[in-house]
Each structure stands twice: as structure tokens, then as C-alpha cells.
Amino acid sequence: MGEVSYDIVILGGGSGGYACALRAAELGKRVALIEKDKVGGTCLHRGCIPTKALLHAAEVADHSRDSAAVGVRTTFEGIDVPAVQKYKNGVVDRLYKGLQSTILSRKIDIVTGDGRLSSATSVQVGDDVYTAPQIVLATGSVPRSLPGLELDGSRVISSDDALELDRVPASAIILGGGVIGVEFASVWRSFGADVTIVEMLPQLLPLEDEASAKVLQRAFRRRGIGYELGARFESVAPSAEGGVTVTLAGGKTLSAELLLVAVGRGPVSDGLGYEEAGVEMERGFVKVDSLCRTSVPSISAVGDLINTPQLAHVGFAEGILVAERIAGLPVVPVDYDGVPRITYCDPEVAAVGLTAAQAAERGIETVEVNYPLGGNGKSVILQTQGSAKVLAAREPDGSPGRVVGVHLVGSRVGELIAEAQLIYNWDAEPSDVAQLIHPHPTQSEIIGEAHLALAGKPLHFHA
């Protein structure tokens, strides 16, 4: 058995792990990055990147199918699934090679193999032990299922399976109306499938603002995407046609070619030696403080392994925070309310800050405006519908104070959320944003118009 010493050993090469490695190496630390599969983790190989490649293919299909509406004559001949898969895999492979090159250029040692925490300062991979005064756990997450619901990879599948399908299903039931379920529903509908989403809570995208969910639900209804809200799954069985039949509480049944289980992702922590090393756990997640420190002083944890928003850019931020803290730099906790979030369906849903319900729960009285995209020139050109909702804290005199939430729905609004992030994180008030000149015609004007209206001087919109 060999033993190698480093300044930092990182277990897991996904978004949080490799971000920590890159930043730590920049700060002069000798780093080992242990990954059992490929660096890049879920985001690059089974999440963000491949799903967005499929969503882009879906967008092209929709544009081809609807091109006559703008006077362009095309013939839509269908979806060539092997070619779509080749495109998707090509995107992933290009980014993977670039990431590998970046990591190696920083003199980070990539160790391939199954790692297990063997002490508070060591990780074992096979017969080798990698030691360091600081260990970072970043083992990520995997698709979850429900008790008694077995994934067979054929008729009852996970999001990992869905990414590798060699066909467009004729019909699909999607269990779960969160980000993963909604995005696959959008892709498959654009590819020609009949899709129904089953969500146990009263709205799609339960973590988003109710107003955004209603806009999305109307858009999905127009697209022919079905959904059952407030519906509890009971069982699934093979159907006579070779597909599946899903039974909901109350006896209602739905039948389709396959069932995609999209009920979220769970942390990868079982059997990795965490508890044996004294790391405190909760429901499979590693417990950390606001600076990502575990109950063991020499061990930190980041990404989907801890109970924070399961977003790649959250993992990046946590990884950088840990690297800088270990290096002795001053750091501040991540403000998770101020992290932008995007669902890349059609139409897109993007947000930063608090929802109206969250503001009410925290005792924050708000003033709000909801600006429809129908009044925005570029949105009309793009033939998209949606809205921009801005929430501001209500001052004692009733006027709007700092912006506490921005919620956007519409084509490509994810590209606008960075400005909203600055507005939220810099404690801007509507009057501050109203002074900024947004270029015309762009969709960015919807942010400007909403803040103009909240500031009491609306231009093209009257609240």
C-alpha cells in the first residue's frame, strides 16, 4: 500500500470538487482530485450540459416546425435520435476535454478510482492512501426513486436513462414536476411525444413563485403537455400494450410507453466512511456550517452532498469558498437566496431572491409588479409569452424599498437573470434600476419596465 501526501485531498470531481481544486491550486496548494468516473460530475456528464443540448435540439425542432409563421418555408421530417445523441455527446466530450486540460494545467493530480474516507485526514483508493491536513468531500448525488418503485432502465427510468434513450417515446408519464421533470417534458413534447406530468404539490416547479408556475402551466397546456397537480402516485404496473400503467391516489390511471421518475436527487454518501470518521450526517446529507465545515475540523463538504440548492453554480461557489478558507483568505457565507436559478424548458423560468410566499413567511411585506412580455417588442418578435415579476419590500410609507425577488418567464429569459442577480445582491431599489437605460428592442427591457412601474413612472405598462 502506497501513501502520498498533499495539502488538500478532494473526494469527488464534480462541480464543487473541481472548482475547489482549481482555486486551491491557484492559491499554491498541492491538490489531489479523486474521481471514480470522469471529472465534471453530474453537471457535465448527466445533468446541466447534456440536458441543455437536448433542449437546444428541441428548440430547433420547434422553429423548423413553426417556421411558416414567419414566412420561412421548411420541411420538418422528424427527429433523428442517433444524430441528436451524437450532437449531445460531442458537446459533452468537447467540454470534458477542455476541463481535463484546465485541471492538468494547474498541476492538480487526478486520481481515478473509488475513494473512501479512511480517517479524518486520509482517503483510500484501492491499495493507495492519499493524506492531507484538509479533506474536502464532494461526492455529489444520484437520481432518487420512491419506496417500492424500482427503476428497470427500460420502462421505468431515471433521468440518467432518459439522456441515453435511443428513441423518442410515443408517450411518457413523468413523476415529478420539478426542474428535471419539466425540462424532459419540454424536450419530449418538442420531439413529438405525448407527455403527462404527475406532481404531488399544487403547482409545477414547486420551489418557484406561484405566479411563474401559473404562466408556465398555461404555456404547457397550449403546447399539449398534460399535468396532474396535487396528485399522489400509488403504483405502476406493466400495461397490455407493453408500456406502463400508473395508478394515482383515488384510483385514476394513466398509461404510456414509459415512466420517467424525476422526484429529485439524493446525496452519494452511503458506505464511504463518513460516519466512521466522525462526520455528522442528516438524511444522507453531510451536515455543515455556513462556511462548509463539517463536524470534523479537518473535513469540509460541498455541492449536492450537503443540503443546499442542487445547482452547479452553487457547487462552484462552495468549492471556491472552501479553497479560500483553507488558504487563510477572508470568506463570507454563500447567500443562497441570492443565487439565480433557471429551468430551461419552453418557456424558460428564471428567478433570484424570494418568492411571494417566502417573503410572507419571513414577515416581509412587499410591493410587486407583474409586467407581461406582450408589451415587449423583442418578445413579440420571438413569439414568446410570459412575464417579469418584481417584488420589493414595502417601506413604512407604502413605497417600494429594496428588491427582494425577480421572477421571469419567457423564451431565453435565463440570459437576463444575471442583471436581476446584481439588483438583488446589491440591495438595489426600483428607483435605482429605473435610472438605467436598457437597449431597445431587447428582452432586457422587461426588467427595466418592471422597475420603472414599481418606481411609479411606468413607460409602456400601467400596473
For residue 361, the domain's CATH number is 3.30.390.30
- Percent of the chain residues topping a pLDDT of 70: 99
- Both 274 and 259 in one domain: the answer is no
- Both 211 and 189 in one domain: the answer is yes
- Both 216 and 278 in one domain: the answer is no
Average pLDDT of the segment spanning 122-127: 96
- Both 257 and 276 in one domain: the answer is no
Interval 447-456: pLDDT, tens: 999 999 999 9
Interval 8-24: pLDDT, tens: 999 999 999 999 999 99
189 found inside a domain: yes
Pick the last residue of a domain from 336, 361, 385: 336
Q: How many distinct structural domains can be found in the chain?
A: 3
Residues in the chain: 463
Residue 360 has phi, psi (to 5 degrees) of -65, -40
Any idea what the Cα angle at residue 134 is, between residues 128 and 137, rounded to 5°?
Answer: 75
pLDDT higher than 70, residue 1: no
Residue 224: per-residue pLDDT = 97
342 found inside a domain: no
Average pLDDT of the segment spanning 257-263: 97
Residues with a known catalytic role? 440
Q: What is the CB neighbour count within 10 angstroms for residue 251? A: 7
Residue 276: per-residue pLDDT = 96
CATH number at residue 205: 3.50.50.60
What is the overall mean pLDDT for the chain? 96
- Both 138 and 270 in one domain: the answer is yes
Please give the residue range of the domain that contains residue 54.
3-142+266-336
- Both 288 and 193 in one domain: the answer is no
Strand partners, 281: 286
Distance CA 446, CA 356 (A): 19
148 found inside a domain: no
Distance CA 390, CA 298 (A): 42
Contact yes or no for 244/256 (Cβ under 8 A) = yes
Interval 374-420: pLDDT, tens: 989 999 999 998 999 999 999 999 999 999 999 999 999 999 999 99
Residue 80: per-residue pLDDT = 97
Of 253, 248, 240, 222, give the one whose Cα is nearest residue 386. 222
- Both 101 and 239 in one domain: the answer is no
35-38: list long-range contacts, CB under 8 Å, 24+ apart.
Answer: 35/110, 35/111, 35/112, 36/112, 36/113, 36/114, 36/115, 38/13, 38/96
Interval 310-329: pLDDT, tens: 999 999 999 999 999 999 99
C-alpha cell at 155: 420502462
- Both 136 and 160 in one domain: the answer is no
Average pLDDT of the segment spanning 148-155: 93
- Both 211 and 300 in one domain: the answer is no
- Both 323 and 194 in one domain: the answer is no
Residue 241: per-residue pLDDT = 85
Pick the last residue of a domain from 263, 286, 301: 263
pLDDT higher than 70, residue 463: no
pLDDT higher than 80, residue 462: no
Average pLDDT of the segment spanning 66-89: 94
**The dihedral of CA 256, 258, 262, 263: what is its sign?**
positive
- Both 286 and 297 in one domain: the answer is yes
pTM over 0.85: yes
pLDDT higher than 70, residue 94: yes
- Both 209 and 278 in one domain: the answer is no
Give the β-pairing of 387-394 and 366-372.
antiparallel
